[in-house]
Each structure stands twice: as structure tokens, then as C-alpha cells.
Amino acid sequence: MPHLRGFTRAAFAVAITPLVIAAPAAAGFEDLAGTKPGELGQGSQFEGADGCSLCHGGGHAGDRTYLPHDGWAGTMMGNAARDPVFRAALAIANQDAPGVGTFCLRCHSPIAFVRGHATPPDGSAFDAIDMQGVGCDTCHRAVPSGPPEAPYHLGDAQLVYDDNLDKRGPYADSVAHVHGAAEDGALASSSFCGQCHQVTNPGRRLRDANGVETTLAFPLDTTYEEWAQSAFARAGGESCVDCHTRRKSGPAPIATVPGAPLRPDPRDHVFAGGNLFGIRAVMAKDPARAAAFSDAFALALARTEETLAAAAKVEIERAPASAAPGEPFEITVRVENLSGHKFPTGYAEGRRAWIALALVGEAGEETFLLGGYDAAKGEIEASPPTHVYRAQHGRWNGSAAEPGEDLARHDMILSDTRIPPKAFVPTPTTTPTGEIDYADGAGGVRSWDEATFAVTAPAGVKGERVVSARVLYQPITRKYVEHLAEANVTDSSGEELLAIYESVGASPPFVVAKAEVVIDFGGGGGSGSGSSGGGGGSSGGSGDGCGCRLPGQPASSGLPLALGLSWLLLRGRGRRKSPRPV
């Protein structure tokens, strides 16, 4: 059921004043603030990132983790206009709402929008600078929207530019021979990130559970709003850049020109998120570019895995010391969101996480007791049911809510079971629905989910075995990819995406976190196996963080000894929280 609770927009505005998030009402695309096409004179001369790289990239191997261009080149921001998922979704959006693509391109290439190249709405007028997506000048040429007391119109890429060609950044003493420079601390603010990570559809109003229109524009991406309503936005919290960029320890230059000043602990420009598939898809789409920037793409993938592994943790709260094969037993699992927004967050279509329980054999083979993944179908096994964390949008068909995959047509939040961040204060567009109870008993919501599952080990299991609890994550599903291919009557972008999806391994589930417990199934024989648990990453399965095993896939070589040693650690002083016996 779609869900909308009685929080007021004013309550949210108090938390973020003097910011204005997009428009409270769905007034339309033309009413958005920010610089519009044709408003700039000389200032329309935006630079390409390749030119910036001459001084801010190309360092030796040790520098490539933080020099601006070398980190940025492999990111989803640096490839936002090339992203095959975006291109396929853009085609469908233009089919469903002709011309809406100009608005979509406003975030995926803000400079293209200001230069007037977001029309036609399919991006066919893009040049090389536009194709750089969220490039250097997108951020370093943006200016405050007015006097300090003026409202800052946030969201929907309402960015403001002027005719001044200075590059803006955090340093007061920047001197460059090829461009002017200006200090601007706003560049590192979370509100600046919110320009493209707080997205509505100004052409659609959000409907409530009964299909009645509200005054709110339909929310497509509420990542900033989720952060702004959490403990992370308050005193002593963490900003977007605190988590999504990394500081280099010690003084270092951010330019390769002779005499470049040393900057204290400079931040990288990797902007790590959770879209592993997106990075791989960009690489598969353009192998030549992937080869030219191989270090940058490798860095982006590595940092994305690290970011995902820090996003959540799982603990086994209760488990039996022993159980009978073929008979159900209960395990209680707790998943806590460690991120500064919902887990998962961002693009709702296809993005999901869930709990899985796997029985690990002596040779590392796995039998999923809960939350198994059918790689051939791209589906989570339905029985027994697990907890899935995702947002599902849809539309009112005149008499009932109708689920769908066409984001330009959505006007209802059908479900939102994502785990809230710490000390979260819900708003009308971010309130969890009721499928998973996050109530903390004091009028607020919890940042964790605790659930008890009844599972059954196969009849032939004997002796001590490891049961592994995992949080699995996918940035995209087969269902969504196939929809983008099947619904496209405009071009080949959907079919190209489907081919890429298959070629890169079909976005296998990534293990965000895991915890393990040894259970004795009796009958003698079999020594326990497994590890002490901890962070995310690769685990059994197909490698690459996959939580599934394809039919006929052998166990990884060399596992028995490693698993045996890990089991000894588990029996001794493993790092996971010890479950309470039942």
C-alpha cells in the first residue's frame, strides 16, 4: 500500500532554513531557479576536464589516489552522461513524457543544460565537454545564488553561474597562470551536493495512499533530505564529503606544476558511492576510455566496495547451539544502517538490499537457507521470505495504485522499507512504510532492523556447521534492465544496456556485511567452517562480492584450510557479537 503520514513540509523547512528544496508544489519545470540556457555571455565558455588534467592530474602512481582529475575520471560523476543505465532510462522517460529529458540532463550534465545543449532532450546535441557529465567546471564555476540572507534553491540542479571565469575552491591563496581563482567554502557543503542528490519531478504531484494529489512534487531521489533529517546533519555529525571523499594524510600538492603549494590533508575526487554496476557498465560501453583511465576506474571500483562495506553491519542476536536437520530453527538477525542516509539510498529503480542466511559446508560450498539469489532469473528466492530494503514507486491508474518501472510517470510511493539513518526525523516524502517496523517506541524511528527467521537445514547435514548471516546489495536488477530494453521503441540504448549487463556478470549481489555462528546439527562428522565475520566484500559464492553460486560452479580452490583456520578463530575470540542462545 502507498503510504503518506501527516508530517508537514514546514517541519522539514525548519531543519534546513534558509535552504529551499526544489519547489514545495509541483509548479512545473519552467519555475525552477538557477541559471537557464542563454543567460550567460562570456561565462558560457566552460572548460573541459581534459584541460584541467594538464595541471591537476597525471601524477605518479602515489598521487593518483587524490589528484583531482585522476580520481574523478573513473567516477559515476565523471561519467554521468555516458552511463548506459541513464541513457536507456532517458529514452523511456522521453517516450513517457516527451521533452522531459531536458530536465534529466540538467543533473547528468549541468553545463550542457546551461549551454543550451540539453535540447533536444535525448542529448544528441552534446559535445565532448557536455559528455563529461558532472565535470570540473560544474562545481568549480558554480556561485552562491545571492546575498547570504537570500534562500538557496536546492535540488533539481538549480545551480547558479555567472560570467566570471574564476575557478572556485576551498583555498584563499590559490594562484594560477591559466585561470583566476576564488575562495568558496560552499563547495564542500552538503547543500551543494544536494543540488543533484535531491531530485523531484516538478511535472508530477505526489499522491497519498488514496490517490489524492498533495502539493508536493514527486520525489525521485531524497538522499540529501534523508541526510538533513538525521544525526549526521547536526552538531558533531558528518557531511557528504566526510564520507564520500577521502583525505590524503599530510601536506601534498593538488597540482603538478612546479612550485605548487602544499595543501594540508587534501581530499580526493573519487566521490565513492554504491554503484558498482554503473562503473562496470561505463567501462564496458567504452573499452578505449576504460583502458586510457584504467587506474581511475580501478580506484573507483575499489573505493565503491569500501564504501559499501562501511554502509551497514549485521549481527546474529540469537541462534541455537544445536538444531536438528530437516527441522525448523530460529535465528534473530539485526542489520544496522551506518550511513548518513537511508540504506540503500538514491535511484529507486532496481536498487535493493536484503538479508540472507547461508549454511557453509566443509569445502566452502553454500546452501542458502534464506534470501538466496537465483542468478539465472535475477530474483531473490521467495521462500522462506526475507527482509528486503528498497523503495518502490508507481502511479495512480484512476482507481488504484499501480507498480511500474517508468520514473517519469510515477506519482506514488508504494513502499519504502529502506533502513533510516541514525536519529532520523521523517518527512512526507521519506517516511518509512509499514512493512518493516522501524518505530523506536518513543515516537521516532530506529536506524536498524531486527528480525527473527525460521529456517531449515537440509536433512543430510551433520556435525558443526557455520551459518552465515549476510547483507546483500544490488544497484540494479535484471527486471529493471529487461524493462528498459523491452519498453524502448525509440532507439537501441535499452538493448545495448541489456548486452552490457550480461557481459559484466549481470550485477551479482555484493556482500555488504556478514556475521557467522557455529551450530551443531548432530550425527558426528564434519568440522565447522567459516570465518569470524566482519565487513563486506567477497564471500564464498562467485567471488567479486557475490552472494550467490551459479549452477555447477565449483567451490573456490584453497578454501578448506582457510575456512578451517577461520573456524578456529570463530570458536575462540571471533570479532562478531556472540549470539544469545535460545
Q: How far is CA 376 from CA 205, 380, 440, in A?
A: 38, 11, 39
* In 133-229, beta strands by DSSP E: 152-154, 167-169, 181-183, 199-207, 213-221
Cβ-contact 317, 333 below 8 angstroms: yes
Q: Where in the chain is the domain with CATH 2.60.40.10?
A: 311-521
In 3-state terms, what secondary structure has residue 336? strand
What is the pLDDT at residue 524? Answer: 67
Distance of alpha carbon 196 from alpha carbon 109, whole angstroms: 10
Q: What angle do CA 271, 272, 274 make, to 5 degrees?
A: 135
Distance of alpha carbon 89 from alpha carbon 101, whole angstroms: 10
What is the pLDDT at residue 374? Answer: 98
Distance of alpha carbon 479 from alpha carbon 405, whole angstroms: 9
What is the pLDDT at residue 569? Answer: 35
Quote the longest CA-to-CA distance of the chain: 81
Q: Which three cell numbers stand for residue 138?
A: 560544474
Q: How far is CA 361 from CA 45, 243, 365, 370, 460, in A?
A: 62, 37, 5, 16, 12
Residues in a beta bridge with 239: none
Residues 6+ apart with CB under 8 A from 129: 46, 47, 48, 111, 112, 115, 135
pLDDT tens by residue, 134-190: 999 999 999 986 667 777 889 999 999 998 899 998 888 888 878 888 888 888 899
What is the pLDDT at residue 545? Answer: 45
N-term to C-term CA, the chain: 35
- Residue-by-residue DSSP string for 499-556: HHHHHTTS-PPEEEEEEEEEEE-SSS---------EEEE--STTSTT-----TTPPPP
What is the pLDDT at residue 60? Answer: 62
Distance of alpha carbon 302 from alpha carbon 481, whole angstroms: 24
What is the pLDDT at residue 43? Answer: 67
Residues in a beta bridge with 221: 199
Residues in a beta bridge with 561: none
> Which CATH number does 311-521 carry?
2.60.40.10
Of 79, 86, 84, 197, which is closest to residue 132 (Cα–Cα)? Answer: 79
Residue with cell 547435514: 461
Q: How far is CA 265 from CA 155, 302, 344, in A?
A: 29, 21, 30
Q: Which three cell numbers stand for residue 309?
A: 562495506
Long-range pairs for 146-149: beta carbons < 8 A, 24 or more residues apart: 149/18
User: What element of type H or E holds 333?
Assistant: strand 328-337
Ranges of the chain whose pLDDT falls below 50: 1-18, 22-23, 26, 527-582
pTM for this entry: 0.87
Residues 6+ apart with CB under 8 A from 436: 387, 389, 417, 449, 451
- Burial of 405-426, coded b for 16+ CB within 10 Å and e otherwise, reads bbbbbbbbbbbbbbbbbbbbbb
Please give, one letter per residue, the 3-state secondary structure of 417-478: CCECCCCCCCCCCCCCCCCCCCECCCCCECCEEEEEEEEECCCCCCCEEEEEEEEEEECCCH
Q: How far is CA 78 from CA 131, 135, 202, 252, 497, in A?
A: 9, 6, 26, 23, 19
